[in-house]
């Protein structure tokens, strides 16, 4: 079986996107972490969502 190539889900993400989603305070903290080298990689964990009808 051939291995699937991992998709980079963050490739098109901008700081503006993060500001809009998380708010200025959290985005600023994240930007500082990235600029100071505290963040070297990001990961995505997909979790199921229960839908109640």
Backbone angles phi, psi at 14, to 5 degrees: -115, 165
The band of 39, judged by pLDDT with boundaries at 50, 70 and 90, is confident
Cα 20 from Cα 27, distance rounded (Å): 9
Cα 42 from Cα 53, distance rounded (Å): 34
* Least confidently predicted of 11-20, 23-32, 42-51: 42-51
pTM, to two decimals: 0.58
The closest alpha carbon to 30, from 13, 7, 47, belongs to 13
**pLDDT of residue 45 exceeding 90:** no
């Amino acid at each position: 079986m051939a291995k699937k190539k991992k998709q980079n889900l963050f490739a098109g993400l901008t700081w503006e996107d993060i500001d809009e989603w998380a708010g200025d305070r959290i985005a600023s903290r994240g930007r500082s972490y990235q600029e100071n080298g505290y963040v070297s990689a990001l990961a995505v964990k997909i979790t199921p969502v229960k839908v109640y009808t």
